[in-house]
Amino acid sequence: MHPRAVVAKAVKEGLDLIAVCDHNSSENIPYVINAARKENLHVLPGMEVTTSEEVHILAIFDSLDNLNKLQKIVYEHLPGENDERRFGVQAVVNENGEVECISKKLLIGATALSIDKLLNLIHEFHGLAVAAHIDRESFSVLSQLGFVDEKIKFDALEITPATGFQQARIKYKELSSYSFIISSDAHFLKDIGTAMTKVLLRNASLTELKMAFTGQNGRHVLE
């Protein structure tokens, strides 16, 4: 999953826009963006953060500066050190396939940030907050809390390809006010492009994506 390979597979699959969201870390993102500069592919910088409730939330931004602000806080609230024998080596790899450094953070762990606190930070830094894989039996807002609190301002909800849009709309009728997205949630190269969401946008940008999630100016998610 080094940057150039990720970009090459995304281009091969005909994707126009991807968001790279490593667990609790953004250190690989600049190199993916660099690898995509000469390709017809737009990369949104992001992160999949594990809250103190053990809920996975996607934080997606339009700039590395805003993502880095969140990264600093996430690392400050992420205890523990990685055990390479159990969880593997966490390499930061540049666009040339060279290892820049090895992360010692326990990226698989949960942060001390609550859902409320995390969403406030994401929106403060002008990002989008998406509840990840809500239909899974672990690490989802529904598995951990049992419901989606309307006071928690998610911008969209992600469902897995196994459920799909049609079944999700039947199963989660109480969530009809939210936009749903489906992604590959790829942890291996072969999975990139196996699932995607078609969105009607004027251009590939976070601003356009935000309008699509709220159905503004003709932008919308094509379910």
222 pLDDT band, cuts 50/70/90, is very high
For the cut 90, the answer to whether the pLDDT of residue 150 exceeds it is no
For the cut 90, the answer to whether the pLDDT of residue 53 exceeds it is yes
For the cut 90, the answer to whether the pLDDT of residue 22 exceeds it is yes
Bridge partners, 99 (sequence order): 93
CA distance 132 to 182: 10
pLDDT given at position 186: 95
189 pLDDT band, cuts 50/70/90, is very high
CA distance 82 to 186: 22
Structural domains in the chain? Answer: 3-222 (3.20.20.140)
CA angle (55 as vertex; 27, 86 as ends), nearest 5? 60
Bridge partners, 23 (sequence order): 48
Can you read off the two tokens belonging to residue 166? 């049609």
Q: How many percent of the chain have pLDDT more than 70?
A: 100
Asked if residue 41 lies in contact with residue 10, where contact means CB atoms within 8 angstroms, the answer is yes
Phi, then psi, of 135 in degrees rounded to 5: -90, 5
For the cut 90, the answer to whether the pLDDT of residue 182 exceeds it is yes
pLDDT given at position 124: 97
170 pLDDT band, cuts 50/70/90, is very high
pLDDT given at position 1: 87
CA distance 184 to 201: 20
For the cut 90, the answer to whether the pLDDT of residue 126 exceeds it is yes
For the cut 90, the answer to whether the pLDDT of residue 133 exceeds it is yes
CA distance 113 to 76: 10
pLDDT given at position 92: 96
pLDDT given at position 68: 97
178 pLDDT band, cuts 50/70/90, is very high
Q: For 71-125, write each residue's pLDDT tens digit.
A: 999 999 999 999 999 999 999 999 999 999 999 999 999 999 999 999 999 999 9
The alpha carbon dihedral of 193, 194, 196, 198 has a sign of positive
